[in-house]
Amino acid sequence: MGLLSGLESLGLGKMQETEVFEKETPKEEKGEVATAHKKTELDVLFDKTFKCPVCDNEFTSKMIRAGKNKLVKQELDLRAIYDTADAVKYEPVVCPKCGFAALNRFFKPMAVAQEKLIKEKISANFKGIEQPEGAYSYDDAILRYKLVLASTVVKGGKNSEKAYVCLKMGWTYRGKAENLPEDTPNREAVLKELKAAELECLQNAYGGFVSAFSQESFPMCGMDEMTVTYLAAELARRIGKTEEAARLASTIITSRSASERIKDRAREIKDLIKKQKGE
């Protein structure tokens, strides 16, 4: 399965063979008190209006209401867990007219040359996308992430931006696996596929961030150097690059600029690596 597979129905089947990254030359909190009305995912959503920077079309996309989705915890790779809605499902924004897609933070004007590339390689073949009236399913979100990644690749987005999209898409696969109904046909096989898809995303996210270290300046996608270093360490651990994970974690622990909080989390990574090795 490729990162961009599944776009055939939208007219973008050729994108599935596209290389996301160019090959380089070697060098818990207490719950809320129960009320008469149990908060649902729809309760924390609203329709936000966007204007497409490529075709000027105005449309709405579902977003999370500020302060309504309570943070429960944060996983080691910085994935946030909320009490009501999985916020990662609502970060992709897709223009239903021309097909341009980006994460909310990146859905903004771009260079004329980039617009031209989107129109030629995305819009010219785009067949439209369904706009769900209710909450987005994980499958809705995954399809939107693939469109975001396709647009990011086509417009020549930075490696850090592509890595960030891959990271969020990996979290979406993880969320789908965690919420997969018990009565799903061939559930174990489906879970295995979802785990493989998540791993592919995290591998690409790790590779993209590592490439960005030598090519870009900080902040990257709103993250400072220590945060990106920490994230790369945890991604390395999750994809089996334990030596690199330990090295990056040590860099944080010995850094004078890293906060005590991120140093503590880096120590957690090293402890997990030791357990994995049976030390």
Q: Could you tell me the pTM of the whole model? A: 0.88
Q: Which residues contact 73 (CB under 8 A, 6 or more apart)?
A: 28, 29, 80, 81
Total length of the chain: 279
**pLDDT tens for each residue of 227-244:** 999 999 999 999 999 999
For residue 147, count CB atoms less than 10 angstroms from its CB and return exposed for 0-12, middle for 13-18, buried for 19 or more. buried
> Which long-range CB contacts under 8 A does 256-262 form with residues at least 24 apart?
257/225, 257/226, 258/226, 259/226, 262/226, 262/227, 262/230
Model pLDDT, residue 78: 98
Residue 98 and residue 118 in contact, taking contact as beta carbons nearer than 8 Å: yes
Are the CB atoms for 39 and 237 separated by under 8 Å?
A: no
The predicted model gives 136-140 an average pLDDT of: 98
Assess contact for 212 and 220: CB atoms under 8 A.
Answer: yes
Whether residue 153 contacts residue 14, with contact meaning beta carbons closer than 8 Å, is answered with: no
Residue 34 confidence class, pLDDT cut points 50, 70, 90: very low
Q: Helices 225-238 and 260-277, interaxial angle, to 10°?
A: 10
Q: What is the mean pLDDT of the chain?
A: 93
